[in-house]
Amino acid sequence: MNKNLLYLFLLVVSGCTEGEKKSPSVLFAGEIVNPMNEYVVLFKDDVKLDSAKLDKTNHFSFELDSISEGLYHFNHAREYQYIYLEQGDSIQIRLNTIDFDESLVFSGSGADINNFLLDIFLANEEEESLIRSTYFELKPEEFHQQIETLRKDKLKALAQLNVETPLSIKAKNLAEVSINYTYYNYKEIYPFEHRNRTGKRIGNKVPSNFYAYRKSINFNNKNLNYLTPYYNFVKSHLKNISYNGCEQKCGVVDETITNQLHFNRHKLSLIDSLVQEDELKDNLFRNVAFEYLLRGRDTEQNNETFIQDFYLRSGNNRHISEINELYEGITNMQPKKKIPNVMVTDVSGKKVSLQDIAKGKKVAFYFWSGSNQRYFKDVIERTAFLSATKENYTFVGINYRTDESTWKGMIARAKLDTENQFKADDFEELAKALTIYQRNKCIITKDAEIVDGFTTLWAANL
């Protein structure tokens, strides 16, 4: 080709590309292999933007007229993954729900940063088992060196990508933050994990540059609020400095905080003083409330003291109704109170209340879903063992989020006593009334009165 024509051609192509990038519209489309439902849902932070229905060939498409550059995420059934979108992007994905993250591939304009973020996510998953099984046992200096090597290797890969495919400043910064805070988080939890594995306390015996990043922590960047590595880091950081800051007042026995009320009120105080960004602050306050209340082991008086302190600091929290429901549920699940009178269905289709099921006997209620076959198998084995050794207890299974035929089929194949198997028709009602936030929860009752509302089949004191 004539050189002048070649230069002209490249100039025109470059101009077209620039024009496309300046367009405010975005196309996000793709194919879901082995779909689990009919929809893909797009979110910005925790706000649903739009949903797209799969067609007959399992393809979907979003056409967005105008968006702000940044991190989004899409959901399909109970799976989700991040996607970084800029104006002018035209991104295609393909994934198989059998291996959701591992099979996901981005293509088209805007694919490079997304494939890089996905590669980092998958690499972090692979590294995590090594770090937890080996690195946490290392001495502080060795741990620091290993973590820094991993972090710097990722940053080098990002720099190389930016040379090959120049990224926007915002996209590059987000990738850097995602890398850095993943490894900073490991440093925050290292003292606790090291102690759990070796029995040795680290305390302040770390290299002088171990926590050097703390000088530049930004608690007020709205763009990071829903980035998982950053949010996990902030939670771990607050726990770490809270532990060190109130170690004596909280009361520590064998390195374990015994005064959870004081410890969690300390965390509320730290959040209040360190974080000004409203949405992050609300989310962190919610996290502390859920962690403290769901322990379910403190007294009603202490729970009330905590919630009053919470209201004083965050009475207009965007999650306040959810926290109120949790607090009410925790209060109703205290010992000597009647188990909430939730209605469930037996295998014949008859409605019956939990209070009627529990009346006049000792009962251990456990909960399971047809979506987790492995856990169901573990539960069956555990209840069979307990039934043989604790004959004075009746073990009652409450199923949820399983269609009727699957539920009955699983009961039949496991040869369970159908008189002690029930199905919750409304999981949300069940979860709120009984505060079911952990999969392996077990509730112990005697004559419909709660003995222990926050145990498991493996920890229950029967």
The conformation of residue 1, written as its DSSP 8-state character, comes to -
Q: How far apart are CA 271 and CA 185, in angstroms?
A: 17
Question: What is residue 274's predicted lDDT score, i.e. its pLDDT?
Answer: 95
Q: Give the pLDDT confidence of 140-198 residue by residue, as tens digits.
A: 999 999 999 999 999 999 999 999 999 999 999 999 999 999 999 999 999 999 999 99
* Cβ-proximal residues to 363 (8 Å cutoff; 6+ apart), any chain: 357, 393, 394, 395, 396, 444, 445, 446
pLDDT number for residue 24? 79
- What is the predicted pLDDT for the residue at 7? 36
What pLDDT shows up at residue 248? 63
Give the pLDDT of residue 22. 57
Buried b (16+ CB within 10 A) or exposed e, 408-431: bebbeeeebeeebbbbbeeeeebb
- DSSP summary character for residue 290: H
Dihedral Cα 92, 96, 99, 101, nearest 10 deg: 20
For the chain, list the domains and their CATH numbers: 23-109 (2.60.40.10), 166-332 (no CATH), 343-456 (3.40.30.10)
Q: What is the pLDDT of residues 361-399, one digit of tens each?
A: 999 999 999 888 899 999 999 999 999 999 999 999 999
- Which residues of the chain fall short of a pLDDT of 50? 1-20
Predicted local confidence at residue 258, as pLDDT: 72
How would DSSP label each residue in 27-71?
EEEEEEES-SSSEEEEEETTEEEEEEE--TTSEEEEEES---SEE
Q: How much is the pLDDT for 461? A: 84
41-76 exposure pattern, b = at least 16 Cβ within 10 A, e = fewer: bbbbeeeeeeebebeeeeebebebeebebbbbbbbb
In sequence order, what DSSP letters do the residues of 84-108 get, joined into one string?
EE-TT-EEEEEEEGGGHHHH-EEEE
Residue 253 has a pLDDT of 63
Query: What distances in angstroms separate CA 457 from CA 335, 371, 396, 424, one per listed residue?
Result: 18, 19, 11, 19
Angle subtended at Cα 82 by Cα 81 and Cα 87, rounded to the nearest 5 degrees: 140
